[in-house]
Amino acid sequence: MSGVVAVPVGAREVPAGTRTLLLEYESRCGTCLYFAEVLPYWEQTGQCWSNIQIVKMTVRAGILADVEVLELQSRSQTKNCPSARLRVRLPRVGGARAAGPSSRQSAPATAKEYVHRIAAYAFPPQGDSPRARFGSWADFVRAGYQGDHLVDADLVARPELAIAGWVDPVLPRQHRARETLRSKMRQARDRAEELRCRLARAPTRLRRLGDEIRGLECQARGRKRNAALRELRLEVKYAKHALAESRALQRQSIEEPHDWSPLLTHDVCAPEANTDYEQTLQVEFDRAHHWRDGTRDLQRASLHALCRKHDLAKLRVPFSELGRGPVPEHPAGHGRALIDTFLKKRAES
């Protein structure tokens, strides 16, 4: 896989060759066994990657008669699920034929199963024995367990990866609670970065607006010139207000006392999300915000802590484009539209 993929927080490396029994049933051809096995490398299928293969073994009279590696299929992106996922056909769980050994009978019906959920059952990050923790694969499916793609210290999840030890088995309620926590942490991160960008770019923006105003003041009076001046001066007024507010928030973030070892505020956590994984994730996330390019960046960490603790929706002012690249030229009336949008959002909040 091209590029560097960060190992998710809480993940573990599963040795190549590790094998877990998924299903077993008797058929006319003999005893059919389905195993999940870890490969020593990653394989690509469509846009997805995995180091897991599903092997079907057929045993007759105690002798291995056939070995088949099942084909993995990549499910394309959909409106509700924008990431591609890997699936494989397995015997349908529910009947005795899929749950365990039984009398000789025809092969059971098959159904598509997500490979990342198989990884969560067969190779959980905690390293527990699947049979001891969940029972059989059929018990795991009936209980409604899902596969939670763990995120890295930058809160990035990669659903297109089905890697052994990188997917955590969780129940739906815990899965939703975890994603709620991550979503709030991402919002705090984005707001803190937006604040940093505004503090860096807003002075340049104000200087450019001042140059435009001085240029218009040198022109002959007229309706268009006066309207453009009013628009620019109003834009300067709100730009100064936004910059002053940002500087005040920056001072507040620095002056507020923080426990830097580490930040563990769980005010955004649902009670069912308060697990060891959530604590570990916040520790790693805070640590990532403490250190950037080999230097300790307390300002970044303190801004994030402030945004995580308080509702800072008001940071989303009309000059958010200051965060990236040079300031673009806007057509007449654009500043007024931005200000109106800002005032409307502010009134709603």
**pLDDT higher for 305 or 56?**
56
**Token reading at 211:** 């140059």
**pLDDT higher for 77 or 308?**
308
Question: Which residues, in sequence order, are CB contacts of 86 under 8 Å at separation 6+?
Answer: 45, 48, 50, 72, 73, 74, 75, 114, 115, 116, 160, 162
Contact predicate 14/38, CB 8 Å: yes
**Digit-coded pLDDT (tens) for 218-240:** 888 888 888 888 888 888 887 78
CB atoms near residue 263 (< 10 Å) = 20
Closest CA to 192 of 92, 283, 306, 290: 306
> What pTM was computed for the model?
0.71
Please give the Cα distance from 301 to 224 (Å, whole number).
46
Contact predicate 122/164, CB 8 Å: yes
| Res 290: pLDDT | 65
Q: Where are the domains of the chain?
A: 19-170, 179-348
Q: Crossing angle of helices 276-290/172-217, nearest 10°?
A: 30
**Sign of the Cα pseudo-torsion (250, 255, 261, 264, in order):** negative
- Counting residues of the chain whose pLDDT is more than 70, the rounded percentage is 72
Kindly tell me if the per-residue pLDDT of 115 is higher than 80. yes
Residue 127 three-state SS: coil
Contact predicate 155/180, CB 8 Å: no
**Digit-coded pLDDT (tens) for 158-195:** 999 999 999 999 999 999 989 988 888 888 888 887 78
Mean predicted confidence (pLDDT) in 23-42:
90
- The phi, psi pair for 303, rounded to 5°, reads -65, -40
Kindly tell me if the per-residue pLDDT of 7 is higher than 50. yes
- State the residue for tokens 């435009």: 212
Question: Which residues, in sequence order, are CB contacts of 314 under 8 Å at separation 6+?
Answer: 245, 346, 349
| Res 282: pLDDT | 79
